[in-house]
Structure 1
Amino acid sequence: MAEETVVERTWRGILERHPGARLGEPAVIEAAYAEPRLRVLFPFPSHGALTFHRNTQDPWSNDLPFIVGDVESCTVYAPLGAPQRVLGQSLTPQEAAALVVAHLPPDCGPAFDGTWPPPENSLD
């Protein structure tokens, strides 16, 4: 059996609400995890937001859309500094996760182990 990756271990800790894991809104976490393209990215829940990163260590990529919200209503934001900051609002967690996937760059994922920016040629 293959060893669990940092990304897999992080998702598991968040989903199972392990002590020491960064915790977020369970409905949003579960909806994001259900999306295969998001499941391979590094999840980072903080301050009511769920961000996704192409790498596993700070500094983060911060170049992907993210979700803010709860089981009742979510907003999807474009990456910091991007035009049209709000991509969608008043969404279910599932709709929000699908909208993030729809706005991922084609070359996105899986996350690599390390800091941003990526090592030369790691995204080729």
Structure 2
Amino acid sequence: MPDRASGSLVEKTWRMILEGDPAARRGQPAVLEAAYAEPRLRALFPFPSHGALNFHRNTQFPWSNDLPFIVGDAQSCIVYAPLGTPQRVLGQSLTPQEAAALVVAHLPPDCGPAFDGPWPPPDSPTD
């Protein structure tokens, strides 16, 4: 894990979660560490909640909620596609590392680093 005194909100959030900061959300350590080891996931906003590790393209509510996520622990993980996707389970009985790699494999091509702010992106067209 990087040893930085400052950085983006995404970097600070990852650091707080991985270091067990009392103000940070809690998640499964093995899953968090495997996700953090993947550069594309490390650039997204981590949101552990209710046994799942969600990834968002943005840092404030409302969340993007359009990316795959991991449910599980050090023993076994399931990767789910975002809500509204026909095939919900992308993989099961995976190690945390396999699960993180599967999430990366299913990220949209335009999924870059998370931006600060609510979803949708500020430059997205409005209806």
Deviation at 1:42, TM superposition (A): 0.1
Aligned to 1:31: 34
Aligned to 1:89: 92
Which residue of 54, 57, 73 corresponds with 2:57?
A: 54
Aligned to 2:82: 79
Deviation at 1:20, TM superposition (A): 1.0
- Which runs of at least 4 in structure 1 moved beyond 3 Å after TM superposition? none
* Secondary structure of the structure 1 residue equivalent to 2:47: strand
* Secondary structure of the structure 1 residue equivalent to 2:40: helix
Matched, 1:119 2:122: yes
Instruction: Identify if the C-alpha distance between structure 1 residues 2 and 11 changes in structure 2 by more than 3 Å, giving closer, same or farther.
Output: closer
Aligned to 2:47: 44
* Secondary structure of the structure 1 residue equivalent to 2:48: strand
Q: Distance in 2 between matches of 1:54 and 1:13?
A: 19
What is the TM-score when the length of structure 1 is the normalising length? 0.95
Deviation at 1:96, TM superposition (A): 0.1
Q: Distance in 1 between matches of 2:86 and 2:42?
A: 26
What is the TM-score when the length of structure 2 is the normalising length? 0.92
Q: Distance in 2 between matches of 1:21 and 1:109?
A: 24
- Please tell me whether the aligned partners of residues 6 and 12 of structure 2 are also in contact (alpha carbons under 8 angstroms): no
Deviation at 1:23, TM superposition (A): 1.0
Instruction: Identify if the C-alpha distance between structure 1 residues 120 and 26 changes in structure 2 by more than 3 Å, giving closer, same or farther.
Output: same
Deviation at 1:2, TM superposition (A): 9.0
Deviation at 1:60, TM superposition (A): 0.2
Aligned to 2:9: 6
Deviation at 1:99, TM superposition (A): 0.1
Where structure 2 has 5 or more consecutive residues not aligned to the other structure, the ranges are none
Deviation at 1:4, TM superposition (A): 0.7
Identity %: 81
Deviation at 1:3, TM superposition (A): 4.1
